[in-house]
Copies of this chain bind each other. A is one copy, B any other.
């Protein structure tokens, strides 16, 4: 371990071969000592799932000066946990996750393995950033993100983040114009309306195939979806306290719920 360089842990949810992961690795290697612990397969939409059965493995696949890469058969959150609670002998200075193929703006953050990995690190007091591109294309162009990802990572390493806060960073896909800049945003209100269709499986049984439509329900111009739509990078300061604080008083009726009996 080189104590003078920042220790950067990289993970993702699109598997070790994903172009977005490879781009993130290439951007991080000049910044410090890099440990990659990626998923061994696509683990999109695994949320904050963890593996509780004793089946986890992490296999070293590449080792070089200031660089080690492991492939883990678990979820993105498993990758983070295994990273600094098994492989590393100290906590990383930062966890960066991605670059995800597909947006994690709005409620996609709830389903996202990429962001779950960042949130997990944040829960353990580690600086963490999830990066996502608004394109599901496996061969998407990531080059227009380079300067932003390096600048954001350097800033977080130097200046830190508030306790219990990580960053959900979403990028617009490459357009004709360069990205206009960064907007600090709130998570947009939206929902997925799923449509299941029945298909025949190999044995002649019926399985359900998931489809869906993203329904945008937010009129605000301060949201992550609006920022990326307008060719800005969106950054949402993201935490893991799900308390709807503004409704604590209103809920006090439940404290008297047994009085009626």
Alpha-carbon distance between A181 and B75 when the two chains are bound, in angstroms: 39
The interface-forming segment of A4-12, A18-26, A60-68, A158-166 is A158-166
Does the CB pair B110–A199 fall under 8 Å? Answer: no
What is the interface size of chain A, counting residues whose CB is below 8 A from a CB of the partner?
Answer: 83
Name the distance in Å between A77's Cβ and chain B's nearest Cβ: 8
Which B residues touch A49, using CB under 8 A? 45-49, 75, 111
Does the CB pair B253–A159 fall under 8 Å? Answer: yes
Say yes or no for A141: interface residue by CB 8 A criterion: no
Q: Would you list which residues of chain A between 229 and 249 have a CB under 8 Å from chain B?
A: 235-245, 247-248
> At the interface, is chain A mostly helix, strand, loop or mixed?
mixed
**A254 in complex: contacting residue of B47, B55, B235, B260, CB < 8 Å:** B235
Please give the count of copies of this chain that the complex contains.
Answer: 2
Alpha-carbon distance between A235 and B251 when the two chains are bound, in angstroms: 9
Alpha-carbon distance between A215 and B164 when the two chains are bound, in angstroms: 15
Contact pattern, A 197-215, Cβ under 8 Å of B = 1, otherwise 0 = 0010100011111100000
Name the distance in Å between A154's Cβ and chain B's nearest Cβ: 9
Does the CB pair B258–A57 fall under 8 Å? Answer: no
Residues of A within 8 A of B (CB): 44-52, 54-58, 75, 77, 81-82, 85-86, 107, 109-111, 116, 119, 123-125, 147-148, 151-152, 155, 159, 162, 164-165, 167-168, 181-184, 186-187, 189, 191, 193-196, 199, 201, 205-210, 235-245, 247-248, 250-255, 257-258, 260-261
